[in-house]
Amino acid sequence: MLNSQFLSAPPLKRGPRGGGLSLFLFCALAGAVLAAAQSQQPAAPKKATLVGSSTCQACHEEIYTAFQKNAHAAVDKDKRRGWEGKACESCHGPGSIHAESGDKKDIVNPARQAAAQADKMCLSCHLNQATHAGRIQGGHARSQVSCVSCHPVHKAEGSQMLLTKTGEINQQCASCHPQVWAQFQRPYKHRLPEGAMSCVDCHNPHGSFLPKSVRTVAANEPGCLKCHGNLGGPFTYEHSPVRLEGCTACHVPHGSANPRMLTRHEVRFVCLECHFNRPAATPEAAAPTLGGVPPALHDLRNPRYNNCTICHVKIHGSNVDRALMR
Residue 70 in 3-state DSSP? strand
Q: Which residue has the higher pLDDT, 155 or 103?
A: 103
272-309 confidence digits (pLDDT tens): 888 775 554 555 444 445 554 444 467 777 777 788 88
On the 0-12 / 13-18 / 19+ scale of CB atoms within 10 A, 135 is buried
Distance from C-alpha of 44 to C-alpha of 28, rounded to nearest angstrom = 27
Q: What is the pLDDT of residue 185?
A: 92
Distance from C-alpha of 202 to C-alpha of 211, rounded to nearest angstrom = 12
| C-alpha distances out from residue 310 to 96, 249, 306, Å | 74, 20, 9
Number of H helices, E strands in the chain: 12, 2
46-56 confidence digits (pLDDT tens): 788 989 888 99
| C-alpha distances out from residue 269 to 122, 188, 266, 302, Å | 48, 18, 6, 15
Residue 3 pLDDT > 50: no
**Looking only at Cα atoms, what is the longest distance across the chain?**
137
H or E element that contains 318 = strand 317-318
Domain residue ranges in the chain:
53-108, 129-228, 232-279+286-326
* Contact present, 81 and 90 (Cβ < 8 Å): yes
* Contact present, 194 and 163 (Cβ < 8 Å): no
95-126 confidence digits (pLDDT tens): 999 999 999 999 999 888 888 888 888 888 87
Residue type, 167: G
Residue 14 pLDDT > 80: no
Q: What is the pLDDT of residue 319?
A: 94
308-321 confidence digits (pLDDT tens): 888 899 999 999 99
